[in-house]
Amino acid sequence: MNNREHWGSKAGFILAAAGSAIGLGNIWKFPYIAGENGGAAFVFIYLICIALIGLPVLIAEIMMGRTTQRNPVGAFKKLSGKPFWVAVGSLGVIAGFVILSFYTVIAGWSIGYIVEALKGSFSQFSDPGVSSAYFESQVGNVTWIVGYHTLFSFLTMGVVFAGINKGIEKGSKIMMPVLFFLLILLVIRGVTLPGAEKGLAFLWSPDWSKISGQSVLIALGHAFFTISLGMGAMMTYGSYLSEKDHVPSAALQIVILDTFIALLAGIAIFSSVFAMGQDPAAGPGLIFHTLPVVFAKMPGGVVWAVLFFLLLTVAALTSAISLLEVVVAYFVDERKWKRQNAVMVFGFVVLLIGIPSALSFNVMKDVHFFGKTWFDNADYLASNILLPGGGFFIAIFVGWIWGFDTVLIELKKGSESLFDKYPIVIKAWKIFLRFLAPVMIFVVFLHSVDLLESVWHQIHMQWVIIIIQVAILIKLFHKKK
């Protein structure tokens, strides 16, 4: 255990963890789901989910990793040993395989689009009809899609192969500043376009009529995905932390960075989309269908397009390495594999599992399992079942099972004083972890497996959630006296 690698500095950890959090979720998914769910009002609900549920669970997850110095399976083994909890850890490792296998496919498109932009392919795009036909023909091409999926998988393997310090930490220290810089450039470009104010208004002026129970649930589900919660990625990164680092402050910084980047991506994308008169609610195709049209209409569009897809690729890479690291850490810690061998073998396995995902856009388009393509199944399984399920059990484990006295000792390591000054913070965390997070996740879970679908339309979810939150706050302040 003594020769386990550790982050070279706290900043190294924060950049790597923020790198994991900031990914396709922020730049591809967040803008389009915000666009589909009414803009500002949705953003507001998403921020509440991040603060009240995401942050408390993130602290719990990182702490389990730091205390045990293990991957998710090893962490549950060490803290409980009960087969049930070890199985929860194993689901995290399985989620690593599943998410990575489809994540590399979308990230591959992004590399492909850098090349297309450089070739000048976007200049012919007069409207989204043309660009979506073009997108369909690209992803319909087996060599194109499998080729870029493979290329991106190799990039991911390369970084993880080099280890924690020389690979993940060093890579994140280079890539994260590049990402900030590219995004700032794109924001400046976006907001200085004539007509950009309509996009900003869309993001900042809430249209509450667009908010439904459904959008609250989408917001919570996305909060998990975007902070890489619920499958042990943050636990594994936390396992390379030492006791002198204070977990809550690190977690807060990671969440702030992740949210900040999602909002900046929203600003960059919506200001351009509105300025160019495109549809903000274009859905998952917003980036690949709508943005190329925006770039085609913009002066110097080729350069902006290359910068944008480079940004997306870098963001996806710093997330993909954290997914592969969960799998690798498991084989290194529990099965005593050499890191390099684990990376090569399982990197390759993930590459293979990803191929049917890539083929779901062409030759396997009509091959459905449980009514969905392979790609949609992988996405659904991960985002709607494995992540919320894992988050639920992590909250329950740390809130109820681990032993709260031990948890508090672990929590205070690295900075006693903060909690002595603000005991309410600990009380709030405990209540959020024990009640709010499990209840909310449970509700989302029921929804995502469609069990509540019929009852759903009869109750106003926002009120149910507001009542639960008020009840918890009352309990919190009542106890304090």
Q: Which is nearer to ligand PHE, 59 or 231 (CB)?
A: 231
Residue 404's SS3 state is helix
Write out the DSSP string of 188-220: HHHHTSTTHHHHHHHHHS--GGG--HHHHHHHH
Amino acid code (one letter) for 18: A
Q: Which is nearer to ligand PHE, 26 or 357 (CB)?
A: 26
Smallest distance from the beta carbon of 29 to ligand PHE, in angstroms? 7
Smallest distance from the beta carbon of 281 to ligand PHE, in angstroms? 21
- CA dist 12 and 447 (Å) reads 38
Identify whether the C-beta of residue 298 lies closer than 8 Å to the C-beta of residue 272.
yes
Helix extents (H) in 69-127? 72-79, 83-119
In sequence order, what E strands does 266-424 have?
none
Residue 124's SS3 state is helix
Q: Which is nearer to ligand PHE, 233 or 407 (CB)?
A: 233
Q: Which is nearer to ligand PHE, 99 or 219 (CB)?
A: 99
Smallest distance from the beta carbon of 458 to ligand PHE, in angstroms? 33
- CA dist 468 and 52 (Å) reads 12
Q: Which is nearer to ligand PHE, 388 or 438 (CB)?
A: 388
Smallest distance from the beta carbon of 72 to ligand PHE, in angstroms? 11
Q: Which is nearer to ligand PHE, 233 or 291 (CB)?
A: 233
Identify whether the C-beta of residue 302 lies closer than 8 Å to the C-beta of residue 145.
no
End-to-end CA distance of the chain: 45
User: Token pair of 389, please?
Assistant: 């399920």
Q: Which is nearer to ligand PHE, 125 or 288 (CB)?
A: 288
Q: Which helix (H) or strand (E) holds 222?
A: helix 213-226
Smallest distance from the beta carbon of 25 to ligand PHE, in angstroms? 2
Q: Nearest residue by C-beta to ligand PHE?
A: 25
Smallest distance from the beta carbon of 165 to ligand PHE, in angstroms? 20
Q: Which is nearer to ligand PHE, 182 or 276 (CB)?
A: 182
Return the DSSP state at 123. Answer: G
Smallest distance from the beta carbon of 224 to ligand PHE, in angstroms? 8
Smallest distance from the beta carbon of 122 to ligand PHE, in angstroms? 24
Count of alpha carbons within 13 angstroms of residue 22, beta-carbon side? 33
Which positions lie near ligand PHE, rule CB under 6 A?
A: 20-21, 23-26, 99, 225-226, 228, 231, 233, 319, 322-323
Identify whether the C-beta of residue 39 lies closer than 8 Å to the C-beta of residue 203.
yes
Residue 4's SS3 state is coil
